[in-house]
Structure 1
Amino acid sequence: MKKQTILSLSVAAALVISGGLAIAQSAGSGVSSLRGSSVADLDQPLNLYQQDEGRFARAYRQQPPLIPHGIDNYQIDTNANRCLACHDWTNAAERHAPTLSMTHYQDRDGNQMDRISGTRWFCTQCHVPQANAPELVENIFNPSSGN
Structure 2
Amino acid sequence: MEKISNHARLKFSLGLLLAVTLFAAAAQEQASEAEIANVSHGGQASLRGLTELDATRKADLFKPVPRDRSPYVSDYVFQPPLIPHKIRGYELSTNANKCLSCHSFKKSAETGATKISVTHYETRDGQVLSDVSPRRYFCLQCHVVQTDTRVLIENTFQRVESLQ
After TM superposition, the score normalised by the length of structure 1 is: 0.66
Compare 73-82 and 44-53 and name the one that shifted more: 44-53
Match for residue 134 of structure 2? 118
Q: More relative contact order in 1 or in 2 (CA 8 Å, sep 6+)?
A: 1
After superposition, give the CA deviation of every residue in 1:110-146 in whole Å (9 maximum; x if it has no partner): 0111100011000000000011211222222111111
Unaligned runs of 5+ in 2: 1-40, 52-56
Deviation at 1:88, TM superposition (A): 0.8
After superposition, give the CA deviation of every residue in 1:59-90 in whole Å (9 maximum; x if it has no partner): 11111110011000111111111111111111
Higher helix share: 2
The residue type equivalent to 2:152 in the other structure is: L
| Cα separation, 1, equivalents of 2:50 and 2:138 | 38
Match for residue 146 of structure 1? 162
Match for residue 5 of structure 1? none
| Cα separation, 1, equivalents of 2:58 and 2:125 | 50
| Cα separation, 1, equivalents of 2:59 and 2:140 | 25
2:66/2:86 contact within 8 Å kept? no
Deviation at 1:57, TM superposition (A): 1.7
Q: Does 1:70 align with 2:83?
A: no
2:83/2:146 contact within 8 Å kept? yes
Distance 1:138 1:47, change over 3 A: farther
Unaligned runs of 5+ in 1: 1-30, 38-42
* Aligned residues with identical type, % of pairs: 37
Backbone CA RMSD of aligned residues? 2.5
Instruction: Decide which of 64, 82, 102 is 2:118's aligned counterpart.
Output: 102
Q: 1:1-147 residue pairs with structure 2 within 5 A?
A: 35=49, 46=60, 48-53=62-67, 54=69, 55-146=71-162
Matched length:
113
Distance 1:110 1:133, change over 3 A: same
Distance 1:96 1:48, change over 3 A: same
| Cα separation, 2, equivalents of 1:36 and 1:125 | 29
Higher strand share: 2
